[in-house]
Structure 1
Amino acid sequence: MDAPPGESEGDTRMIEWSDEDLMIRDAVRDWIEAEVRPQADRLESGELPPYDLIRSLYKTFGMDELARSSFQARLEREEAGESGGEQGSGGGGNAAMTMLPVIELCKVAPGMVSAMGVSLGLAAGTIAGRGSAEQKCRWALDLLTFDKIGAWAITEPNSGSDAFGGMQATARPSGDGWILNGSKTFITNGPYADTIVFYCKLDDGREARDREILTFVLDRGMPGLEQSKPLRKMGLHSSPTGELFLNDVQVGPDRLLNSGSGSGKESAKANFVTERAGVAAMSLGVIEECLKLSVDYAKKRELWGQRIGDFQLIQLKLAKMEVARLNVQNLVFRHIEMQRAGRTPTLAEASAMKLYSAQAASEVAMEAVQLFGGNGYMSEYRVEQLARDAKSFQIYAGTDEIQVTHIARDLLDR
Structure 2
Amino acid sequence: MDFSFNDEQRLFRETLRDFVDKEIIPVARDWEQSGRYPTEIVATMRELGLFGLAVPQEYGGLGADTVSFVLTFEEISRGWMGIAGILGSHSVSCFMIARHGTEEQKRQYLPRLATGELRTGIALTEPNAGTDLQGIRTTARKEGDHYVVNGSKMWITNARYANPLPVLVKTDPTASPAHRGMSILLVDTTSEGFTVEKDIPKLGYKGTESCELRLDNVRVPASALLGGVEGQGLRQALSSLETGRVNIAARSVGIAQRAYEEALRYAREREAFGQPIGDFQAVQIKLAEIATQLQAARLMTYWAASQMDAGVRMDAESGMAKVFSSETALQCALDAMRIHGGYGYSAEFEVERLYRDAPLMAIGEGTNDVLRTVIAKALLKGKAHVG
State the Cα deviation string for residues 264-300 of structure 1 (Å, max 9, x = none).
Answer: 1110110121001222221211111111111111111
Alignment of 1:79-158 (within 5 A): 97-120=68-91, 122-158=92-128
Structure 1: unaligned runs, 5 residues or longer: 1-12, 75-90
Q: Is 1:401 equivalent to 2:369 in the alignment?
A: yes
| Corresponding residue number in structure 2 for 1:324 | 293
2:59 counterpart (49, 64, 72): 72
Aligned letter for 2:366? G
Q: Cα offset for 1:67? A: 7.5
| Corresponding residue number in structure 1 for 2:385 | none
Q: Is 1:55 equivalent to 2:24 in the alignment?
A: no
Distance 1:65 1:412 in 2: 37
Distance 2:288 2:125 in 1: 38
State the Cα deviation string for residues 287-320 of structure 1 (Å, max 9, x = none).
Answer: 1111111111111111122221122221111111
CA distance change for structure 1 residues 291 and 68 in 2, over 3 Å: closer, same or farther? closer
Q: Cα offset for 1:42? A: 4.8
Distance 1:138 1:352 in 2: 36
2:247 counterpart (273, 278, 288): 278
3-state SS of the aligned residue for 1:388?
A: helix
CA distance change for structure 1 residues 57 and 263 in 2, over 3 Å: closer, same or farther? same
Q: Cα offset for 1:249? A: 0.8
1:194 counterpart (163, 180, 184): 163
2:351 counterpart (373, 383, 387): 383
Moved beyond 6 Å, runs of 4+: 64-69
CA distance change for structure 1 residues 130 and 43 in 2, over 3 Å: closer, same or farther? farther
2:280 counterpart (286, 308, 311): 311
1:26 counterpart (8, 11, 14): 14
CA distance change for structure 1 residues 326 and 191 in 2, over 3 Å: closer, same or farther? same
CA distance change for structure 1 residues 48 and 26 in 2, over 3 Å: closer, same or farther? same
Aligned letter for 2:125? T
Note if contact 1:226-1:244 (Cα within 8 Å) is conserved in structure 2. yes
| Corresponding residue number in structure 2 for 1:337 | 306
Length-normalised TM-score, structure 2: 0.91
CA distance change for structure 1 residues 18 and 200 in 2, over 3 Å: closer, same or farther? same
Distance 1:306 1:372 in 2: 15
Note if contact 2:171-2:231 (Cα within 8 Å) is conserved in structure 1. no
2:340 counterpart (365, 372, 382): 372
3-state SS of the aligned residue for 1:172?
A: strand
Distance 1:246 1:72 in 2: 30
Distance 2:34 2:68 in 1: 28
3-state SS of the aligned residue for 2:154?
A: strand
Distance 2:293 2:15 in 1: 26
User: What CA RMSD, in Å, does the superposition of the two structures yield over aligned residues?
Assistant: 2.5
Aligned letter for 1:70? Q
CA distance change for structure 1 residues 66 and 218 in 2, over 3 Å: closer, same or farther? closer
CA distance change for structure 1 residues 222 and 349 in 2, over 3 Å: closer, same or farther? same
Distance 2:207 2:8 in 1: 30
Matched positions, count = 382
Structure 2: unaligned runs, 5 residues or longer: 383-387
3-state SS of the aligned residue for 1:362?
A: helix
Distance 1:355 1:107 in 2: 19
Note if contact 1:156-1:185 (Cα within 8 Å) is conserved in structure 2. yes
| Corresponding residue number in structure 2 for 1:173 | 142
| Corresponding residue number in structure 2 for 1:231 | 200
| Corresponding residue number in structure 1 for 2:380 | 412
